[in-house]
Amino acid sequence: MPPEVFTLAQIPITAHAFSANRKELAASLNSNDVRLYTRNGSEWTPTETLSEHDKLITSIDWAPRSNRIVTASQDRNAYVWTETPDPESGKLIWKPTLVLLRINRAATHVRWSPLENKFAVASGARAIAVCSFDEESNWWVAKHIKKPIRSTVLSVDWHPNNVLLAAGSADMKARVFSGYIKEVDERPAPSVWGSKLPFNTVCGEFSSPAGGWVHAVGFSPSGDILAFASHDSSITVVYPSGPAIFTIRLPSLPLVALSWISEESIVAAGHDCKPLVYAGSEQGWQEVGTLDDASSSKASEGPRSGFGGSGGVGRLKTGAFATFRDADTRGQSTLGGASSVSSDTKLNTIHQNTITSVRPYEEHGGYVTKVSTTGVDGTLVIWDTNEVSTLTGKMGGVRI
């Protein structure tokens, strides 16, 4: 199935999350508000706006079973939104509850735990706030994971056991912590990450291979493998039981988001504007291709070149580079015409700018069959994860 493309706006989408039935979408369009959309055939129609934050919203997560939305923002607050009937009209409205995060810097990322009784908020205060609901005071309370974080935490991801938490941080490390909270959690079974897990236990600490800050972290579906993508253009897969660590150095720009699609494969995307697929096992990992099949999208829109013209390697020669070189060496200042350089500034990819978020969209028998991506170009794309085309094949197509 070809990817479904929706242009939600001409401005960046900072975060997106779907409801459990995938009929509704919550997205933040680089603003203080969350916009809710409902799916109408092949369109997303805006329905509601959730306004409560007074700075940019950085992350949204929608709990599938309890149908609650949590939002995190640069205003250092998080809100939990519940759909409740309005006492006057009886209409269902989204009601916010403030969460006391007790952080003094922006909240950067938020994720519900698998059992939806906790969520974790990453922040610039060198801390992760693990929030749980206190029945007595009817209030979300936060406990902080602080040590040994040295800088802003950029992403978090929960282990399926509802206790362990992975965090990627700007101090160039990905870590696995225990987010065990006595009041709400049952004692977790021992796993590859350890058996004794009081709150804030560091179960693993992994450096990015060439000193890049860690953009994205993710546990595999079983929770036994950790993957992280960092700004040194690399993706690392960690098997703690081995222990084996596999690093893939990309020839292209850094990845900023990733999502496991099975125990053996990952979809990751970032500054190169196309989702890449990685696959492997305890024997090793490698890139297998991309979901953005340029040759098929090209057929409908004519040949395109530009920055994304020929994959990663050697692409300095194309697009803008060639334009400046021609202007310099041949005095050609006009574009197009007889020149071999195309004046087209359109990228060879579906997303026209950095992809900032990759999320599972549809699952089938423990395998994620579709993922959704949003990015700086204001576009939402839903990809079929089986439609992997190899990059080499694609480059061949470009040359013709």
Partner 1 sequence: METAFRKIDIDKYDEEVLRDEDLYDADPRDPGQVLEEARQRQAAVRSSLAKNDTAGALAVILDNAPYGPNVDEAKQITLSTLLTILNSTKATEITSVIKALTPDAQDTLMKYIYKGMAMPGWGDISGSVLLGWHEKLTEVAGVGSIVRAITDRRIV
Binding site for partner 1 (CB under 8 A): 126, 150-151, 171-172, 207, 210-213, 231-234, 249-254, 312-317
Write the Ramachandran bin of 90: left for phi over 0, alpha for psi from -120 to 50, otherwise beta: left
In whole angstroms, how close is the CB of 295 to partner 1 at the nearest point?
21
In whole angstroms, how close is the CB of 391 to partner 1 at the nearest point?
11
Q: Give the residue with the Cβ less far from partner 1, 84 or 392.
A: 392
Q: Give the residue with the Cβ less far from partner 1, 36 or 269.
A: 269
Q: Give the residue with the Cβ less far from partner 1, 50 or 255.
A: 255
Burial class (CB in 10 A: 0-12, 13-18, 19+), 239: middle
Contact 183, 132 (CB under 8 A): yes
In whole angstroms, how close is the CB of 255 to partner 1 at the nearest point?
10
In whole angstroms, how close is the CB of 320 to partner 1 at the nearest point?
13
In whole angstroms, how close is the CB of 370 to partner 1 at the nearest point?
28
Q: Give the residue with the Cβ less far from partner 1, 13 or 217.
A: 217
Q: Give the residue with the Cβ less far from partner 1, 113 or 123.
A: 123
Q: Give the residue with the Cβ less far from partner 1, 212 or 280.
A: 212
Q: Give the residue with the Cβ less far from partner 1, 196 or 317.
A: 317
In whole angstroms, how close is the CB of 64 to partner 1 at the nearest point?
36
In whole angstroms, how close is the CB of 347 to partner 1 at the nearest point?
15
Q: Give the residue with the Cβ less far from partner 1, 151 or 345.
A: 151
In whole angstroms, how close is the CB of 309 to partner 1 at the nearest point?
13
